C-alpha cells in the first residue's frame, strides 16, 4: 500500500511538471547543432575549405535530384531556393570577403539562439552582413525607402 502511494505521488509530480511546462519535450535539431559544433572546432584555413566543400556538396545534391526520377520535379525548386542563393554568395568572393564571411558566421553561432539553426542560415546571415558592409542601420533604411 505504501508503494502504491509512492508511485501515485511520483505520477502526480510528473503530470504536474509536464502540464506546467517545467520539463519540455522539445524536438531538438541535432544535425544543425552538430554543424555548429563542427564549425566552431575548425581553424580559419579549415573553415575556408569547409565553405567550398559545402558549395560542392550542394551542387552534388542538385545533380542527384536531376538524375532521380522521383526527385526530378523538386530539382527546380531546390535550385531556386537553395543553390542559386548559395552560388550568389560565392560568385565574387575574394580572400578578404571570405574571411569577413567567416567572421560573420562565427558571430552568428556565438548567440545561443542560433545553436539549432542550419549552416545555410548562418551562411545567408553572413552574406547579408558582408553585402551591406559597414553601413549603419540608418543608412540601410535610407537606401531602402528613398
Identify whether 71 is part of a domain: yes
Angstrom distance (rounded) from CA 70 to CA 64: 10
0.85 exceeded by the pTM? no
Identify whether 110 is part of a domain: yes
Phi/psi of residue 66, nearest 5 degrees:
-65, -35
Identify whether 24 is part of a domain: no
Chain-centre distance of CA 82, in angstroms? 12
Angstrom distance (rounded) from CA 26 to CA 116: 12
Identify whether 15 is part of a domain: no
Q: What is the mean pLDDT of the chain?
A: 79
Grid coordinates belonging to 103 = 567572421
Q: What percent of the chain has pLDDT over 70?
A: 76
Angstrom distance (rounded) from CA 124 to CA 117: 11
Q: At what angle do helices 44-67 and 84-91 cross, to 10 degrees?
A: 140
Contact in structure between 101 and 111 (CB atoms under 8 Å):
no
Identify whether 111 is part of a domain: yes
**pLDDT tens digits for 21-77?**
444 445 666 777 888 888 888 899 999 989 988 889 889 988 988 998 888 888 888
Contact in structure between 42 and 50 (CB atoms under 8 Å):
yes
Identify whether 100 is part of a domain: yes
Residue 67: domain span:
30-145
Q: Which residue has the higher pLDDT, 10 or 68?
A: 68
Identify whether 22 is part of a domain: no
Identify whether 39 is part of a domain: yes
* Total tally of structural domains belonging to the chain: 1
Amino acid at each position: 500500500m505504501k508503494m502504491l502511494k509512492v508511485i501515485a505521488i511520483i505520477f502526480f509530480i510528473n503530470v504536474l511538471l509536464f502540464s506546467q511546462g517545467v520539463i519540455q519535450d522539445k524536438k531538438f535539431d541535432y544535425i544543425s547543432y552538430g554543424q555548429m559544433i563542427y564549425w566552431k572546432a575548425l581553424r580559419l584555413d579549415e573553415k575556408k575549405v569547409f565553405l567550398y566543400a559545402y558549395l560542392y556538396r550542394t551542387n552534388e545534391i542538385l545533380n542527384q535530384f536531376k538524375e532521380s526520377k522521383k526527385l526530378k520535379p523538386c530539382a527546380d525548386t531546390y535550385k531556386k531556393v537553395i543553390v542559386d542563393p548559395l552560388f550568389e554568395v560565392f560568385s565574387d568572393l575574394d580572400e578578404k570577403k571570405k574571411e569577413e564571411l567567416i567572421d560573420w558566421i562565427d558571430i552568428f553561432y556565438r548567440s545561443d539562439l542560433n545553436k539549432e539553426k542550419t549552416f545555410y542560415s548562418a551562411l545567408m546571415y553572413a552574406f547579408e552582413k558582408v553585402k551591406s558592409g559597414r553601413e549603419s542601420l540608418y543608412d540601410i533604411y535610407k537606401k531602402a525607402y528613398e
